[in-house]
Amino acid sequence: MEVTKRSYSSSANLGPGYDILSLAHMAFFDSVTVKKIDEDGIKIISDSTPENPEYNSAGLGILKVLEDKDIDQGLELKITKGVPIGLGLGSSGASSSAAVKAVNELLELNMSPDEMVYYSMYGEIAACGSAHPDNVSSGIYGGLTLISSTSPVKVRKIKINYDMKLILVIPHANIKKKTEQARSMVPANISMAEHVLHSSRISTMLYGFMNGDRDAIREGMMDDIVEKSRESMFPYYREIRKKAIAGNAVSCCVSGAGPSILIFTDGKTKKDEIISDVKGIMGYYNSKYTLMETLILEDYND
């Protein structure tokens, strides 16, 4: 018997929601097939990720599951990567969450969604050195997720009551140890005035999502702390954001730790104009890129 599960790409942070928000979308997906084997330990089969489970985002979370639940069972994990690595689209989180979902079903563990998020986040240690649950939460729940606690892990799913589509601007970049570098650039301290402004923005943005208030989504999805601290990694972002807003996009933000950019669109958005502007901006910076239109993934149905 074997079990295969998918987890889709995701965009974390969404402006002011650093480390606590993530949005699943249908641009890409990873699949992980798990089966029992007679050998000890975990065997990884993958053509693009480490075969040592301790250095593999799918394998490390499963090692933690087996250890905590005292399970002595060899497993084979076949990983098929679809989410591009290192571009701020939740690649490691997709592998990790898909693996945990598959093992949960194969071994009949009956883990709760929050428990699966807990074990999935361990896979992020293999990818970037820290266990953060934002991307993996949307890999388990789908839709827009809010991390309300990390100890214990508690996730709240936010219902989006506004009809939007997405444009992803995906640079052809290869930044070594990108996530570690990006996290190291975030300021350790901010002022009280910055805290108040940031709290106001994230509250306004979530109000907009929940109440279908376009203006509130746009007003709230702004960040002068984390995104600003990382601008040297994606110098084209501010110009793309300015043109997206001028083209009546709902909003625009950096996807996760970048360098990909996420643009929210609706029927009022001048998409052709924005796409043309993106082409000019990326050409000015001599940056090759892929532009992809996609949809929000509301739920996992399997």
Would 63 be classed as within a structural domain?
yes
Residues 147 and 177 in one domain: no
Question: What letter would DSSP give residue 204?
Answer: H
Structure tokens at 94: 């997709």
pLDDT at 74: 94
Would 230 be classed as within a structural domain?
yes
Would 119 be classed as within a structural domain?
yes
Residues 98 and 149 in one domain: yes
The CATH number of residue 51's host domain is 3.30.230.10
Residues 99 and 202 in one domain: no
List Cβ neighbours of 133 (8 Å cut-off, separation of 6 or more): 117, 118, 120, 121, 124, 147, 150, 153, 155
Residues 144 and 222 in one domain: no
Residues 78 and 220 in one domain: no
Would 130 be classed as within a structural domain?
yes
Residues 74 and 49 in one domain: yes
Residues 223 and 125 in one domain: no
pLDDT at 202: 97
Would you list the DSSP string of 103-125? HHHHTT----HHHHHHHHHHHHH
Would 300 be classed as within a structural domain?
no
Final residue belonging to a domain, choices 100, 123, 158: 158
pLDDT at 171: 95
Give the tens place of pLDDT for each residue, 71-81.
999 999 999 99
pLDDT at 178: 67
Supply the range of the domain harboring residue 132.
Answer: 2-158
How confident is the chain (302 residues) per 10-residue block, as mean pLDDT?
96 95 97 94 89 89 94 95 93 94 97 96 76 89 96 95 98 75 85 96 98 98 93 93 98 95 98 98 95 95 68
Final residue belonging to a domain, choices 109, 129, 158: 158
Residues 44 and 74 in one domain: yes
pLDDT at 96: 95
The CATH number of residue 247's host domain is 3.30.70.890
Final residue belonging to a domain, choices 111, 140, 158: 158
Would 301 be classed as within a structural domain?
no
Continuous H helices in 10-111: 57-68, 91-106
pTM of the model: 0.94
Would 52 be classed as within a structural domain?
yes
Residues 219 and 245 in one domain: yes
Closest CA to 171 of 236, 250, 74: 236
Residues 171 and 281 in one domain: yes
Question: In 10 A of CB 145, how many CB atoms?
Answer: 28
What phi and psi, each to the nearest 5 degrees, are found at residue 97?
A: -70, -35
Query: Per the structure, how many domains does the chain have?
Result: 2
Would 302 be classed as within a structural domain?
no
pLDDT at 176: 61
- Using only C-alpha atoms, what is the Rg of the chain? 19
Residues 268 and 142 in one domain: no
Residues 133 and 246 in one domain: no
